[in-house]
Structure 1
Amino acid sequence: MKIGVIGATGRVGKLITAEALNRGHQVTGFVRHMTLAHDPRLKMVQADLYALAPRDIENLDVLVSAFRAPRGQERDYVTSVESLANLLKNKPVRLLVVGGAGSSFTDAQKTTRFYETPGFPESFYPTSMYMARSTQVLDLAPGLHWTYVSPAEYFLPDGDRTGHYQSSPGILLRDKNGKSAISMADYAIAMLDEIEQPHFENSQMSVAW
């Protein structure tokens, strides 16, 4: 498959990119700043998310957004998704978005999101609120094929690549001890598995160990 990754050199984006390359996919990385040190199998394109044009994505099967908004500019999570939804409207390219745990639901009825629960860290509230709003943008966007992939509460940059995870339709997952965690490496595996064999089309997806 031909996969584009926005933010291909970021913490999560680089792991998704590596997983895709190692599975034999053709990957194009869209980055703001070019780097000399990158996998030679990766095609690098210097481009801002908001400046992407139809010609940039016309040969792709999938576009992954690993965009991360700077602190204080959390509303960009909404505007970035709005921009991508407009770009991909009525096109065969599927959009997968790297989300956050705070936008996941805590109940099967999907009435309460994690960031709305008592004790949720105040410092993460703006990010989670706007990420939740971005899922609503996706849900209402016409002519769009998408999946919004949220990690567990603890998203571990240096965690092991175990190859094991569980998934749900946007509901925060916890183990038998009540802990919700996943490594970024295993999150990347879950993302590529969903790309190759979709189970959560036009839906949120949450993953955890």
Structure 2
Amino acid sequence: MKIIVLGAYGKSGRSIITEAEKRGHEVLAVAHRKHDDVDYKNILIKDIMDLTKEEIAGYDAIVDGVSAWVPETFYVHTDGVSHIANLLEGSNTRYIKIGGTGTLFINKEHTKYFKDWENYMEEYKPLAEVLVQSLERLRSYSNIAWTYATPAFNYDVEGEATGKYHFDGEEFSIDDISTSHISYADFASALIDILENGSYIRQRMTIVSN
């Protein structure tokens, strides 16, 4: 498979590229600026909003691991998502967007997000609000093969690759905060599984360690 990874120098991006290349897939790493600590085989330095149809043509999947933590860059999660989705309309190219647990529902009626919980971390609320918007934008597209993937609450950059993980839906129980865990390595492995299996098209799911 030929895979584009957006946010190539972020923690998720690096893990996903490592896993994809380990499995023999061809990867184009995309980032808005160059980092010197990683030397990728194929790299494109470009802002997400400047990507063109010609640059993504011929690729089987785009994995969007772009991170943005301040309001000035939140556009990558909203306008950036819409831009990529518009480029992919009518194509068979997969588009996987990564979004945090603040976007999960905490009631059966799906009217209340985890970000709306009274004890949700105040400093993360602005980002969670924007990530909910990114999910809502993707849900509006019925003619692209999108997937919204959410790592477990405790997303562990130092955790080992265990190969033991499962896929949950889009509901989250507050009682599971301490036990909801996934390593970056296992999350990356699960994402490549999704691409290889052609699963979870136009769905969102959570990836959790067993």
Q: What is the TM-score normalised by the length of structure 2?
A: 0.91
Q: Which runs of no fewer than 5 residues in structure 1 stay unpaired?
A: none
Maintained 8 Å contact 2:153/2:177: no
Matched, 1:63 2:62: yes
* 1:10-159 paired onto structure 2 within 5 Å: 10-35=10-35, 37-38=37-38, 42-73=41-72, 75-76=74-75, 77-159=77-159
**Residues 172-208 of structure 1, C-alpha deviations (whole Å, 9 max, x = no match):** 3789795212111111111111111133110111111
The Cα RMSD (Å) is 2.1
Shift in CA distance, 74/105, structure 1 to aligned 2, threshold 3 Å: farther
Structure with greater proportional helix content: 2
Q: Give the Å deviation of 1:35.
A: 4.1
Separation in structure 2 between the aligned mates of residue 170 and residue 16 of structure 1, nearest angstrom: 22
Maintained 8 Å contact 1:104/1:172: yes
Specify the SS of the correspondent of 1:86. Answer: helix
Q: What is the TM-score normalised by the length of structure 1?
A: 0.91
- Give the equivalent residue in structure 2 for 1:208: 208
Separation in structure 1 between the aligned mates of residue 37 and residue 73 of structure 2, nearest angstrom: 29
Separation in structure 1 between the aligned mates of residue 113 and residue 148 of structure 2, nearest angstrom: 14
Maintained 8 Å contact 1:174/1:181: no
Q: Give the Å deviation of 1:125.
A: 0.6
Q: Give the Å deviation of 1:73.
A: 3.2
Separation in structure 1 between the aligned mates of residue 119 and residue 170 of structure 2, nearest angstrom: 20
Shift in CA distance, 36/126, structure 1 to aligned 2, threshold 3 Å: closer
Maintained 8 Å contact 2:7/2:66: yes
Maintained 8 Å contact 1:78/1:137: yes
How many aligned residue pairs are there? 208
Separation in structure 2 between the aligned mates of residue 175 and residue 194 of structure 1, nearest angstrom: 28
* 1:187-206 paired onto structure 2 within 5 Å: 187-206=187-206
Maintained 8 Å contact 1:74/1:127: no
Shift in CA distance, 38/178, structure 1 to aligned 2, threshold 3 Å: closer
Shift in CA distance, 86/44, structure 1 to aligned 2, threshold 3 Å: same
* Letter of the 1:12 counterpart: S
Maintained 8 Å contact 1:172/1:206: no
Maintained 8 Å contact 2:69/2:127: no
Q: Which shows bigger deviation, 100-109 or 165-174?
A: 165-174
Separation in structure 1 between the aligned mates of residue 173 and residue 196 of structure 2, nearest angstrom: 22
Q: Which runs of no fewer than 5 residues in structure 2 stay unpaired?
A: none
Q: Give the Å deviation of 1:113.
A: 1.5
Separation in structure 1 between the aligned mates of residue 198 and residue 173 of structure 2, nearest angstrom: 19
Specify the SS of the correspondent of 1:166. Answer: strand
* Letter of the 1:18 counterpart: T
- Give the equivalent residue in structure 2 for 1:8: 8
Percent identical:
28
Separation in structure 1 between the aligned mates of residue 142 and residue 170 of structure 2, nearest angstrom: 20
* Letter of the 1:46 counterpart: I
Q: Give the Å deviation of 1:167.
A: 1.1
Maintained 8 Å contact 2:85/2:144: yes
Maintained 8 Å contact 1:6/1:63: yes
